[in-house]
Amino acid sequence: MKKQILVFGIVAGLAFACGGGEKATETVTETAAPEAAAPAPEISLEDKYKDDPIYIKGVEKVKGSDCMTCHMVDRKIIGPSYAEVAAKYENTEENVNMLAQKVIAGGAGVWGEVMMSPHPALSEEDAKDMVRYILLLKK
């Protein structure tokens, strides 16, 4: 610990010296960490919507099913990313119904030849909650 403070003191002293400062080392304290120069990181879609009740309800159901083996929020894997799906469809009751039926029945042809497996065990209500969560994830 002592050594770190000393090194920091020297570095800070040098920086100060280059800038033409005079009483550098006396003002250096252990808590004077340099400000991070990196730009603020982009907010992920998860962070953007994580407090929305629709998100909270939907993400729980999606994680409780097998959706995440084929879908990611922000990147296409086997199926389209949720962000892509959200960008394609307006968040209307009609689309929620249509997509919920598709999740239950499975199918292919909209995004490519790969087929989504059917989910006959899902209730319509659960499928709709999942779709509402997906359509929320607009960038």
Asked whether position 105 contacts ligand HEC by CB under 6 A, the answer is no
Cβ 123 to ligand HEC shortest distance, Å: 11
Asked whether position 114 contacts ligand HEC by CB under 6 A, the answer is yes
Count of residues touching ligand HEC (by CB under 6 A) = 28
Q: Which helix (H) or strand (E) holds 88?
A: helix 82-88
Token digits for 61? 């159901």
Residue 5 vs 87, nearer CB to ligand HEC: 87
Q: What is the C-alpha separation between 72 and 100, in angstroms, rounded?
A: 18
Token digits for 110? 């909209």
Q: What is the C-alpha separation between 5 and 42, in angstroms, rounded?
A: 33
Asked whether position 108 contacts ligand HEC by CB under 6 A, the answer is yes
Asked whether position 116 contacts ligand HEC by CB under 6 A, the answer is yes
Binding ligand HEC (rule: CB under 6 A), the pick from 73, 86, 130, 136 is 130
Asked whether position 62 contacts ligand HEC by CB under 6 A, the answer is yes
C-alpha 63: how far from chain center: 15
Q: Which helix (H) or strand (E) holds 138?
A: none
Token digits for 37? 């120069």
Token digits for 32? 């004077």
Binding site for ligand HEC (CB under 6 A): 62, 65-67, 69-71, 78-80, 85, 99, 102-103, 107-112, 114-117, 119, 130-131, 134
